[in-house]
A and B are shown apart, each in its own frame.
Chain A
Amino acid sequence: MLSGTVNLGSPSKSLIDRAYVRRLLRILVPFTFWALVYMSIKPKGGFRWITWAEASGLLSGQVHYHLWFIYSLIGLYIISPILNAFVIAIGEYQSLLVGGFLLGLAGLEWSVENAFPFWFDANLFKPVPVYTGYYILGYGLRSVKVTLLIRDYALVVFVASTVISLGITDYLNREVASFDNRGFHNLNPVVMVMSIAAFAMLKPVEEIPGNSHPSRIMHIFASLGRGSFGVYLSHVMLLEASFDYGYWSNRQVQEAIPVALLVPVATILITFVSWLGTTRLSKIPFVRRLI
């Protein structure tokens, strides 16, 4: 949604527009670099040269699991000029309707496909990437004015959908051998509602005077947001390294921090370290293009 907010509605029109190509390269170059890093470096195994066959996995999607998101983003960025022309032609209100419709359709298909062994025809039901709804909705929602009432509603909806998502996850995992993540899948309609509510909560409230000046906490998150791509690409390396070296299973650590606190502590630590690394590296001329 945030990518849609930023990328759509821009003046660049064509597929060969310089701004468009630059935006695409800003994803492709770091993605290629980090995909190769994840292939060649294992925290405990050290560095090893990768073969051409392994490197070609970049094109076939055989890369580290968390990079699936970048492929989805690339899919959206490829058709971004088309979506851009489209949302400009129809305006923000209709973008809201179209985004909502596409998202609803994707959610319905996902629900049917997961509830029954039934797969919809891709030509008819998935002619654009499944996340296009989120992308267009991000553009449509950017002009929606968030009042205090809307923010309160969004909070209630967010909490309620989180509880429903928890309930679904609990229900699905009661009698299964391996963990079932469908309760919080990105195309689960409950998560869609949760995401839209979160988006509305994060928008500045217009009724509050002086709200255009971000608070200190907003400054911190904005700084983190600027390095979010680098954090996304690098954090799994840190996470896996800390697991591989047994830091989180260390007895002293477990005694000092209760398990319920371990996850938020680890999250904050890893986010902070990867953000720090990203901000430092972004000051080095050529390296900055890789994060």
Chain B
Amino acid sequence: MAPKYRLAWIDAAKGVAIMMVVCIHTNGIFQNRLSPSNPTVTWWILNLINTACRVCVPLFFMLSGAVILGSPERSFLDRGYVRRIWRTLAPLLVWSLVYLIIYRMSAHRTPTVNDVLGIAAGKAHHHLWFLYSISGLLIVSPMLNAYVCATGHRGGLTLGILWLTVVGISWVLEHVFQFMLEPNFTRSLPVYTGYFVIGYALRDCPVTRKVKFLSAIVYLDGLVACALLVRSINSRASQFEGLIGDYVNPLVMIMSIAMFLLFRPLESAAPDEQPGRCTRFFARLGVVSLGVYTSHVLILDTVVRVAHNENRLGLRTLPYVAVVPILMIIVIALSWEFSEIAKRIPILRHVV
């Protein structure tokens, strides 16, 4: 029998991660309006919020790995594999077209055939980059699955740590020393493979109180270090420079793994034990995270235009520190509701 509540912690973690994604995008609009060279208290608060949420995308990769890897299906011809790929590619294709049409039309331009073909070249709306990356991981998932099945959690952990190390070193060399490694060293597997495999390797590890405490310390340390680095790198910048928040920055890697471990204790002790109310709330959001992810940017842009730029809700008089959470809650509520409704409509359910 499939464990009814056993995976609720994964859905809950997805729910928190998607909230962080919306938070980053909402936060980014307002942080970009502040001068980074002369930081105010508001800038610092927005910087801390942004940095704290950078773990969201790595969390998604790790949670996907935790669910997908270690399964009995191994082949490219397996029905479950094909269905999973389709469940990512269909939203990618449909939402790329939706964003393309809406944003071109709003700029009084007609989408061309080249614009549509650009989707295959990775030129979709900016936030959909994640669907390309996760699709790449899903495509190679039978290979990774076979490897982790043969080597177990320990083998998975070794691969994950090695790959994160390679990618992390490559990132440091590129951005600190302006030195590019030969692509065969770093692109033999998708960039985020490390997160994906570590998610599998850590999914069953017992998290004691000591580990939980250490994870919290590591996460907070990483947060402070990242926030200070963001300040340092932006001290002479005229526009906000978001390099430090890169998902393959070694500091973000460490923060993400720590955050993943902090979610682990949410797992129910027994398969039929109902999780707490908070876990259930986030798990419900997590179930529709794909729909929220794909739709929220459209909703966010509309809400910011109507509620803030055109000041229809009187938000312009409020400080950014208050505007960001208000807008974030509105956007999450609307995109959540949209995803729940779309899930009930036969054709739309395949793209959310």
Contact of B13 with A by CB under 8 A: no
Decide: B147 and A81 in contact? CB cutoff 8 A. yes
Chain A CB within 10 Å, residue with most, of B158, B162, B181, B182: B182
CB distance from A63 to the nearest CB of B (A): 9
CA of A18 to CA of B44, assembled, Å: 50
CA of A164 to CA of B259, assembled, Å: 57
User: Is chain A's interface secondary structure helix, strand, loop, or mixed overall?
Assistant: helix
Which of B129-137, B202-210, B270-278 lies on the face that meets chain A? B129-137
When distances are taken between beta carbons in the complex, the residues of chain A under 8 Å from B133 are: 123
Contact of A85 with B by CB under 8 A: yes
CA of A74 to CA of B181, assembled, Å: 13
Decide: B181 and A59 in contact? CB cutoff 8 A. yes
Size band of the interface chain B makes with A: 35 or more
Residue on A nearest B74 in the bound complex, by CB: A89
Decide: B184 and A60 in contact? CB cutoff 8 A. no
Q: Which residues in window 257-278 of A have CB below 8 A to B? A: none
When distances are taken between beta carbons in the complex, the residues of chain A under 8 Å from B142 are: 86, 90
For A95-116 the 0/1 string (1 means CB < 8 A from B) is 0011001000000000000000
Decide: B144 and A60 in contact? CB cutoff 8 A. no
Residue on A nearest B181 in the bound complex, by CB: A59
Chain A CB within 10 Å, residue with most, of B140, B181, B184, B190: B184
CA of A14 to CA of B140, assembled, Å: 18
User: Is chain B's interface secondary structure helix, strand, loop, or mixed overall?
Assistant: helix
Which of B58-66, B116-124, B229-237, B292-300 lies on the face that meets chain A? B116-124
- Chain A residues bordering chain B, tally (CB within 8 A): 39
Decide: B121 and A85 in contact? CB cutoff 8 A. no
Decide: A124 and B188 in contact? CB cutoff 8 A. no
Known contacts A120-B120, A123-B122, A123-B133; A16 and B158 CB within 8 A of each other: yes
Contact of B101 with A by CB under 8 A: no
When distances are taken between beta carbons in the complex, the residues of chain A under 8 Å from B121 are: 118-121
Decide: B146 and A88 in contact? CB cutoff 8 A. yes
Contact of B189 with A by CB under 8 A: yes
Contact of A160 with B by CB under 8 A: no
Contact of B150 with A by CB under 8 A: yes
Contact of A144 with B by CB under 8 A: no
For B127-168 the 0/1 string (1 means CB < 8 A from A) is 000001101110110111011011100010011001000000
When distances are taken between beta carbons in the complex, the residues of chain A under 8 Å from B147 are: 81-82, 85-86
Known contacts A98-B76, A128-B189; A13 and B181 CB within 8 A of each other: no
Decide: B184 and A101 in contact? CB cutoff 8 A. no
Known contacts A16-B158, A72-B184, A79-B189; A86 and B143 CB within 8 A of each other: yes
Known contacts A60-B181, A82-B144, A88-B150; A122 and B77 CB within 8 A of each other: no
Contact of B187 with A by CB under 8 A: yes
Contact of A285 with B by CB under 8 A: no
When distances are taken between beta carbons in the complex, the residues of chain A under 8 Å from B281 are: none
Residue on A nearest B180 in the bound complex, by CB: A60
Known contacts A14-B158, A124-B139; A118 and B117 CB within 8 A of each other: yes
Contact of B213 with A by CB under 8 A: no
Contact of B75 with A by CB under 8 A: yes
Residue of A15, A72, A78, A127 touching B155 (CB-CB under 8 A): A15
**What are the 6 A-B residue pairs with the smallest beta carbon separation, nearest first?**
A121-B122, A75-B184, A61-B182, A123-B136, A89-B146, A86-B146
With A90-B75, A125-B120 given, name 13 new contacts (CB 8 A): A13-B150, A13-B155, A15-B158, A61-B182, A81-B151, A82-B159, A85-B147, A85-B149, A122-B187, A127-B136, A127-B139, A128-B189, A129-B184
Pull 13 A–B residue pairs with CB atoms less than 8 Å apart, ordered by A. Answer: A16-B158, A60-B182, A82-B189, A83-B143, A85-B147, A85-B149, A86-B74, A88-B146, A120-B120, A121-B122, A123-B136, A127-B189, A127-B190
